[in-house]
Chains A and B, each alone.
Chain A
Amino acid sequence: MRLEQDDELVASAREGDERAFDELVSRHARRVYALVVRLVVDRTAAEDVAQETFVRAWRALPSFRGDAQFSTWLYRIAVNEANRLLAREARREIVSYEDVMVQVPDLSADVPARAESSETRRLLESLLAELPGHYRAAVVLRDVEGFTNEEAAHLLELDLRNFKSRLHRGRMVFRHRLEDLSP
């Protein structure tokens, strides 16, 4: 049996074919959930966001013009939903990461990234989880998930300049917190 492509399923779903959309949910649910759990951290909240993402996607399907991949369009809805959740919780605090005159420890003297222990990996995970949500989203999309600046800015509905600024601050806060933990 031939496996239908996403765009064929999308075309059918736009005609109201629920079976086609159900197949799209099956194909993309894990990836959407994995992305969202990075952004909102809490797994129960991530499940709620993933559920809402597909409900919204179904309703918005008539407006999907097909000029982006279905997955990209879906991720944008997911990121938007995650941001709505984070915005409700957010204290948009300014996080200080810099005193240019202080001594800076050398992170490269620590264990190299590829050889990190499971304890170090857990530490990195928790540092990431503790980043303020608006910084975490930028850092996760760009540095953890590997989207380009343009793609990540599009997903976050930010212009490129604002995205780069947020990414920079997020990276610098993360770096500073790593340095604080450095022996």
Chain B
Amino acid sequence: MTPRVRIPFLRDPRTCEEVRSLMTGYLDRDLEPASLRRVERHVRFCPRCRRVLSNLRTTIERLAHIEPPAPAGDEVIDRIRTSWRDRDE
């Protein structure tokens, strides 16, 4: 009996692209159930897309922790108020 030759599973890059386009919706829980399942099914078998999804989740977490910019100083606020008071009507 001839040994079975294992054929590498070739993923269609278009499927990866389509699934990645759904990832923001997936993470925001803003997808139809069928699309949700599609993402889950795909990432189960596609390590690259699984990594992209994980990284996207990490990215969003990091964005949420970016610190606020240095607050406006009193002189900035004064200039904003003065600018309004001195406006041309």
Count, chain B residues at interface, CB 8 A: 40
Chain B residues touching A, majority SS: helix
Indicate if the CB atoms of B77 and A29 lie closer than 8 Å: yes
Q: Which residue of A lies closest to B47 (CB)?
A: A104
Task: List chain A residues, Cβ under 8 A from B48.
Answer: 100-104
Decide yes or no: A54 and B84 within 8 Å by CB, A143-B60, A171-B56 being known contacts.
yes
**What residues of A have a CB within 8 angstroms of the CB of B65 in the complex?**
113-114, 116
A178 touches B59 (CB 8 A): yes
The answer to whether A76 has its CB under 8 Å from any CB of chain B is: no
* A108 and B55 form a contact (CB under 8 A): yes
A167 at the A/B interface (Cβ < 8 Å)? yes
**Considering only CB atoms and an 8 Å cut-off, how many residues of chain A contact the other chain?**
48
B68 near A34: Cβ-Cβ < 8 Å: yes
Q: In chain B between 1 and 35, which residues have their CB closer than 8 angstroms to a CB of chain A?
A: 13, 16-17, 20-21, 23-25, 28, 30
B21 touches A30 (CB 8 A): no
Q: Are the C-beta atoms of A107 and B84 separated by less than 8 Å? A: no
A10 to B71, CA, bound (A): 25
For B55, the closest partner residue in chain A by CB is A107
In the complex, which of the residues A102, A113, A149 contacts B58, with contact meaning CB atoms closer than 8 Å? A113
Within 8 A of B (CB), among A111-154: 113-114, 116, 121, 124-125, 128, 139, 143-144, 146, 149
Instruction: Please name all residues of chain A whose beta carbon is closer than 8 Å to the beta carbon of B69 when the two chains form the complex.
Output: 34, 37-38
List the A side residues contacting B87 at CB < 8 Å: 55, 58
Tell me which of B23, B25, B51 contacts A104 (CB under 8 A). B51
